[in-house]
Chain A
Amino acid sequence: MRKIIESLLFVSKEPLSIDRLKSLLPEIEPEQIKNEVAALVDEYTNRQGGFHLVQVAGGYQFRTRPECKIWVKRLNQVSPLRLSRAALETLTIVAYKQPLIRSDIEHIRGVDSGGVIRSLLDLKLIRVLGRKDIPGRPLIYSTTRFFLELFGLSDIKDLPTLKEIDALEKKQGDKNETSSSHEEKTLT
């Protein structure tokens, strides 16, 4: 069983979801598919090889290990997607506040964001969900599957919450403070 699932995962272009595997393999017990995939993930993790099986965009996909990137890049001459700071910032706002409209983004960033939104749409990182039923009928935006794939997220809920980030920042801030006060002490 495991080898069948492994072969499908190997050949698939898109991340394969458990549901998709279930429909492709009606002869295997659904519960077993789940277990076998989990076993495969463990197998590749334990193997410590050049690639592993990761959970992205609601499915599973073989990907090279980040620590091998310099060497893989020599082979793969395609230049990676580069996002400007403004684009990344806007994308983050869409990711955390979706579904939202342009004025929501501009309210947070305090700056005109039409151009950035346009380029994120072109890059297929965000998409139009529809129009909001308020005067002007503004477009509603959300992130795409490609966004999840690009950042290796299984689900949008995979992102750390803003509260968690806040706590993390505070922790780091405290650390810096204690270290600086420590320095002061040693100086005096």
Chain B
Amino acid sequence: MFDSAYSVKIDVFEGPMDLLVYLVRKNDVDITNIPIALITEQFLGYLDLLELMNIDYASEFLYMAATLAHIKSRMLLPAQEGDDEEDDPRLEIARPLMEYLKLKAASDILEQRDMLGRDTFKGNPFHNDDDEPLEEQLITIGLFELVETFRQLSENEYKTHVVDFSTNRMSVKERIIGILALLEIKDTLSFNELLEDHPGKFMRVLTFLAILEMAKMNLIEIRQHIQSGLLKVAYV
């Protein structure tokens, strides 16, 4: 085959569980009494087909195939005394399969509920978000979102190696004063605006701390753009 020159990602079977469910249904077998040999053979057949079509499949499929083969090999061992039904090796796959099917059924039921915005609508002509421009709606932001923004900003930074010999470093207090001065001129500032003039991890951490401190002191408000996820700070 061509060396990964042409690859397609299909999501007919999103994972090995999906494929297993399909095979169990196709063969119309009872989950508690799965013919392992048959299912394993068809499972591997499907993987071969994928390979033939030069489609990459995730290692989870291989893991499942190995599990199936392992179950089959354990079933071939002669039953020992003290073995009861609970020790059927097939339970290793039957249990998660049953669990998965149950949750799949639950998700179908959830999908059939009257969904807001699809089947049912809430009223209120006065509150259709007209009072605020859509791009600047206030939403509550959790700590994890703030941290995520910081992480993204860190990734964007150029990887230049600058050795910093300076010892006089700015304090959080000084940074707060700096940000307040900027806010005097412009009412709102995006996180990017605040950070782009000041490269370097130290300044970013400092700015980040200053923003958190200011939010704590109720000096500013942190807003997030609904679509782009852009964080902005604004005077209260």
Which residues of A approach B to under 8 Å, CB–CB?
10-13, 51, 54, 61-66, 69, 72, 76, 78, 80-81, 83, 85-86, 88-89, 91-93, 95-96, 107-112, 122, 127-128, 139, 149-153, 159-160, 162, 165-166, 168-169
Contact = CB atoms under 8 A, between A and B. Distances in A.
A164 to B, nearest CB: 10
Contacts of A69: 118-121
25 contacts: A54-B120, A61-B122, A63-B116, A64-B121, A64-B122, A69-B121, A72-B121, A80-B115, A80-B117, A81-B115, A88-B107, A88-B110, A89-B107, A93-B103, A96-B103, A108-B103, A109-B14, A110-B16, A149-B116, A150-B116, A152-B115, A153-B113, A159-B106, A162-B106, A169-B102
B110 A159 contact: yes
Interface in B114-148: 114-124, 126-127, 142, 144
A159 B99 CA distance: 17
B111 interface: yes
B14 A51 contact: no
A63 to B, nearest CB: 5
Contact of A165 (B14, B58, B102, B121): B102
B144 A128 contact: yes
A66 B103 contact: no
A165 B122 contact: no
B96 interface: yes
A13 B127 contact: yes
Contact of A109 (B17, B102, B106, B144): B17
Interface of B: 11, 14-18, 58, 60, 64, 96, 99-100, 102-107, 109-111, 113-124, 126-127, 142, 144, 229
Contacts of A91: 107, 110
Contacts of B100: 108-110
Contact of A81 (B14, B104, B107, B118): B118
Contacts of A166: 102, 105
B122 A110 contact: no
B15 A109 contact: yes
A92 to B, nearest CB: 4
Given A111-B58, A150-B115, A152-B114, A162 B123 contact: no
Contact of A64 (B17, B105, B123, B127): B123
B109 A162 contact: no
A81 B117 contact: yes
Contacts of A88: 107, 110-111
B25 to A, nearest CB: 12
Contact of B106 (A78, A85, A160): A160
A150 B113 CA distance: 9
Contacts of B123: 10, 51, 62-64
A92 B110 contact: yes
A89 B113 CA distance: 14
The 7 A-B residue pairs whose C-beta atoms are closest, nearest first, are: A111-B15, A92-B107, A80-B118, A110-B17, A80-B117, A66-B119, A13-B127
